[in-house]
Structure 1
Amino acid sequence: MILVVIEWRANQPRWVQIAAVIKQRIDGGVYAVDEQVPSEHQIVQEFGVARGTARKVLVRLREEGIVYAVRGLGNFVADPTADHQ
């Protein structure tokens, strides 16, 4: 396991900063549409944050329509071109 080192900005919550990292990875093609993004546990391990912080990251990404959840399977990259009505 590789621990990602982030220079935390005091004026922004860590969960916001981690969500931005995952969004950058999606935009950069690290995670493709319908591909699974890191789980809460993986976020905890990678970024060295509490589980509640990891949960906030995933909630934020779902609220923004960047990922969608599949019960029992995890969170996946949403298709930005799909009609979400």
Structure 2
Amino acid sequence: MIEWRENAPKWVQVAEVLKQRIADGTYPVDGRLPSQHELVREFEIVPNTAQKVLTKLREQGVAYSVRGIGTFVAPPPADE
């Protein structure tokens, strides 16, 4: 269970946890991230918050979705 900070929205805090898990290898590149339903259960958040977490991770390029299958860890951007 997460200890919620009052100074940051819950979606930001959950996204931080997921990004940390990606960084430490819990979720490898192309590995499946928890579903919206799994996030609701694990973090005791409402479905809209879980959806926002996954949407923001996709917008940030951290994750990508495969329709009907799930959300996955995106490869790091190639150095230019």
Which TM-score bucket, shorter chain as reference?
over 0.9
Counterparts of 1:35-74 in structure 2 under 5 Å? 35-74=31-70
Give ranges in structure 2 of 5+ residues lacking alignment.
none
Counterparts of 1:1-85 in structure 2 under 5 Å? 5-82=1-78
Runs of 4+ in 1 over 4 A off after TM superposition: none
SS in 1 for 2:33: coil
SS in 1 for 2:37: helix
> TM (normalized to structure 1)?
0.89
> TM (normalized to structure 2)?
0.94
Q: Percent identity?
A: 57
SS in 2 for 1:68: strand
Give ranges in structure 1 of 5+ residues lacking alignment.
none
* Offset at residue 82 of structure 1 (A): 4.6
**Distance of 1:68 and 1:17 partners within structure 2:** 19
* Offset at residue 81 of structure 1 (A): 3.7
CA RMSD, 1 decimal: 1.2
